[in-house]
Structure 1
Amino acid sequence: MNTATSPASPIVIATRESRLALWQAEHVQARLQRLGHAVELLGMTTKGDQILDRSLSKVGGKGLFVKELEVALEEGRAHIAVHSLKDVPMELPEGFVLACVMEREDPRDAFVSPHYATLADLPRGATVGTSSLRRQVLLQAQRPDLKIAPLRGNLDTRLRKLDEGHYDAIVLAAAGLKRLGLDERIRCAFETEDMLPAAGQGALGIEVRADRTDLIAALAPLVHQPTWLVVAAERAVSRSMGGSCSMPLAAHGVWHGDELHLQAAWGDLDGQLALVQVDDHAKVATLAEAEALGEAVAAQLRASGARTATAGHS
């Protein structure tokens, strides 16, 4: 099927219909419109949005948030899909590529609570809401006395459940709260040494069909190369570990001059093994070099006792 758009025809963005997903799509729409492109949105509901009674790790992973968008790209109903990069599987289906990574928002996790200012202020046995296995092991490493309870739904739903008293506190990505103007809900942002972020957290990625070189060229002005190199290294850690939302794994990089410093952490959900943390650094100028650093960090994790998904721990 030939789905190429003529210069005058609009670029159609496939997007989930949550308030945050729409903000992200509209942000990309506005950037492309300023470059002279006509842009329309195609709102969609994904299986990840529909299945709220089970954790993602039990129903197919974060790919549930992107599959329907990829079908729309494949069928030509849409041309690009805007994702929170931490929701994008480490391996894209054949025929699809990540065409653009935009400048990162705050990558940290946020502590959100109506009554307590910090994690340390929570009383013993308090209930903290998150469905992220990464956040669960990192929280338990700091406060093993806390009860970690599942928390699904879009950002507004999670905040409503907190406000209704189901939790004493919840942990959310700071980026989403800031993008929706909900900064006042952040009681404090965790320092990355205490709560290492997920690979790609805070960054937006744009997916297209691999054969759409015209769209890849159109998106080039939106690329933020320093962010892309960092998240490529982070995602390489996860890919090398067989990582998905069923693995309690964190990876986060920061620049020091032309050197990329990459930290990673792996936790044991059963609590039998200590938290494994490693870090490494290298001069990085290309995606291949970034991915090599990520693979080296993953190798150090395994050497320090972390188990890969294929090793039967998921």
Structure 2
Amino acid sequence: MVKTIRIGTRDSELALWQAHTVQDKLRNLGYTTTLVTVKSTGDILLDKPLYELGITGIFTKTLDIAMINNEVDIAVHSMKDVPTALPKGIVEAAVLERANVQDILLHKGLDFLNGQGIIATGSLRRQAQWLHKYPGHTVVDLRGNVNTRMQKLNDNNWNGAIFAAAGLERINLKPKDYLDLDWMIPAPAQGAMLVVAKQDDSYCLEALSHLNHINSEICVHIERAFLKELEGGCTAPIGALARIDKDQIHFTGVLFSLDGKDKVEISKTCKIAEKKDIGVKCAQWILENGGREIMESIKKEMSKE
């Protein structure tokens, strides 16, 4: 059987770049493809922080529905936006080779770092880590696609805004003057692209298997297992990063309180052959060493809003 693979994507510049990347790779393998764009709820509702919208997978839900309704065959996502539990009948089909995992600060000068400052981000993880390092600063919410967020930074009196380096690099918007936040632990699966397909679609699953990068897949699965074990359905400031060096995996995971004051962190190294459950075990250590109290306080704070 030969068919045209319909690639579902959001319509932002970055999402389209990701979809075109997958399209080009499939075409190079001899597959016929077409792009189908949809607008997600996360792109439309820009006046509320993500965690207030109460929707799991706000940037992926619309594509999930399109796939279930047979409007698209596969969907391309920034993997850090994808919930740890996929909808019934939809499975991970390929994790592409991971790009830059770091966060960076776009700024209007760095004099403010030693004094008062206003930093913009829509991420609880980035907010908490920034306040942990710079408790005297103010963090304001920033929503929208990459282009919209960069424009908002220019239009407001903020000192800077935090972005994922990979997103800016992919669409050639990374400026020459930026601050690399190498002390900030990235989001689980940051810098990775995920392609999902229907569980019973053997044609697309076979096609996408050729795009999978095994080392990237190993690392993001460890990070997402850590996230899933910690979260328990609650959005929280969680960072995780797994790296492979020869036959070893180096993992760092961290949980913060919303205000950044409380922090529990773990680092662990093991051989690749011993990777089973490393993410889960590290998350359990976090919970047993102060993390459970942090998660309870986050749930209480969220319930008030």
DSSP 3-state at the match of 2:278: helix
The answer to whether the 8 A contact 2:78-2:192 is kept is yes
Instruction: Call closer, same or farther: CA 1:110–1:232 in 2, change over 3 Å.
Output: same
Q: Any stretches of 5+ residues in structure 2 without a counterpart?
A: 300-305
Give the superposition deviation at 1:164.
1.2
Of 57-66 and 219-228, more deviation after overlay is shown by 57-66
Letter in 1 for 2:58: L
1:269 aligns with: 258
DSSP 3-state at the match of 1:33: helix
Q: Distance in 2 between matches of 1:290 and 1:16?
A: 34
Q: Distance in 1 between matches of 2:77 and 2:213?
A: 15
Encode CA deviations 1:284-310: one digit per residue, 9 max, x unaligned.
25xxx6450100110111122113897
Q: Identity percentage over the alignment? A: 34
1:181 aligns with: 172
The answer to whether the 8 A contact 2:131-2:259 is kept is no
Give the superposition deviation at 1:124.
2.0
The answer to whether the 8 A contact 1:247-1:309 is kept is no
Letter in 2 for 1:283: K
Selected match of 2:7 from 10, 13, 32: 13
DSSP 3-state at the match of 1:276: strand
Count, aligned residues:
299
1:96 aligns with: 90
Which aligned pairs between 1:300-311 and structure 2 lie closer than 5 A? 300-307=285-292, 311=296
Encode CA deviations 1:85-108: one digit per residue, 9 max, x unaligned.
000001111111111100011000
The answer to whether the 8 A contact 1:243-1:308 is kept is no
Instruction: Call closer, same or farther: CA 1:105–1:229 in 2, change over 3 Å.
Output: same
Which aligned pairs between 1:1-314 and structure 2 lie closer than 5 A? 6-7=1-2, 9-61=3-55, 63-116=57-110, 122-184=113-175, 187-191=178-182, 194-242=183-231, 246-270=235-259, 274-285=262-273, 290=275, 292-307=277-292, 311=296, 313-314=298-299
DSSP 3-state at the match of 2:216: helix
The answer to whether the 8 A contact 1:16-1:22 is kept is yes
Q: Distance in 1 between matches of 2:93 and 2:288?
A: 33
1:3 aligns with: none
Instruction: Call closer, same or farther: CA 1:62–1:178 in 2, change over 3 Å.
Output: farther
Letter in 1 for 2:246: G
Encode CA deviations 1:174-213: one digit per residue, 9 max, x unaligned.
000000012225512211xx10000000000001111112
Instruction: Call closer, same or farther: CA 1:306–1:290 in 2, change over 3 Å.
Output: same
Q: How large is the Cα RMSD of the aligned pairs?
A: 1.9
DSSP 3-state at the match of 1:64: coil
Q: Distance in 2 between matches of 1:226 and 1:166?
A: 42
Q: Distance in 1 between matches of 2:233 and 2:55?
A: 7
What TM-score results when the alignment is normalised by the length of structure 2? Answer: 0.93
What TM-score results when the alignment is normalised by the length of structure 1? Answer: 0.90
The answer to whether the 8 A contact 2:236-2:295 is kept is no
